[in-house]
């Protein structure tokens, strides 16, 4: 009988420990989907839509970066990259997953008419206004950032 009670106590305790460690894994919560479009026209303008993104620390986000233009674009913000934990970057083609990249990501580049998903958990609050695209416009010889492709990321 004593042994049985000890066994039940062990089961109860171990399930509690498992539950606790699961609850503390912030990368395994339900994701919040956010979409940002990369838009523009060569020789005219390039921009992020929206150009202001807000996230909360501790939540898991799936940021879908959709290139809806004829140019390739960067989504680059060093301050943002240093304030998040990246779970993965997922590359999709025709809505099907084709690759998953894990590790520290600093910037991503998306080709015309393609999408990419950046899964991350913000870990540090701040206002980061260094979101930019370094691609050069063939007609104006200016960077996309100089033509308007800039943005602000806020982590609360």
Binding site for Cu ion (CB under 5 A): 46, 73, 133, 135, 144, 149
Q: State the minimum distance, in angstroms, from the CB of residue 111 to Cu ion.
A: 11
Q: State the minimum distance, in angstroms, from the CB of residue 100 to Cu ion.
A: 24
Q: State the minimum distance, in angstroms, from the CB of residue 53 to Cu ion.
A: 16
Handedness of CA 108, 26, 152, 106 (dihedral sign): negative
Q: Which is nearer to Cu ion, 144 or 150 (CB)?
A: 144
Q: State the minimum distance, in angstroms, from the CB of residue 146 to Cu ion.
A: 10
Contact 27, 14 (CB under 8 A): no
Q: Which is nearer to Cu ion, 39 or 88 (CB)?
A: 39
- What is residue 30's DSSP assignment? P
Nearest to 152 by CA among 73, 64, 57, 53: 53
Q: Which is nearer to Cu ion, 60 or 65 (CB)?
A: 65
Q: Which is nearer to Cu ion, 77 or 121 (CB)?
A: 77
Query: CA dihedral in degrees (107, 108, 112, 116; nearest 10)?
Result: -140
């Amino acid at each position: 009988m004593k042994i049985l009670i000890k066994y039940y106590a062990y089961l109860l305790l171990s399930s509690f420990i498992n539950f606790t460690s699961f609850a503390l894994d912030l990368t395994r919560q339900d994701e919040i989907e956010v979409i940002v479009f990369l838009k523009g026209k060569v020789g005219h303008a390039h921009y992020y839509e929206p150009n202001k993104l807000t996230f909360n620390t501790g939540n898991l986000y799936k940021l879908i970066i959709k290139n809806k233009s004829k140019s390739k674009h960067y989504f680059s913000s060093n301050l943002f990259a240093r304030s998040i934990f990246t779970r993965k970057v997922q590359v999709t083609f025709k809505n099907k997953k084709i690759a998953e990249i894990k590790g520290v990501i600093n910037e991503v580049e998306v080709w015309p008419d393609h999408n990419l998903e950046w899964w991350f958990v913000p870990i540090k609050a701040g206002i980061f206004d260094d979101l930019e695209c370094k691609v050069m416009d063939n007609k104006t010889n200016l960077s996309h950032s100089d033509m308007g492709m800039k943005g602000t990321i806020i982590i609360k």
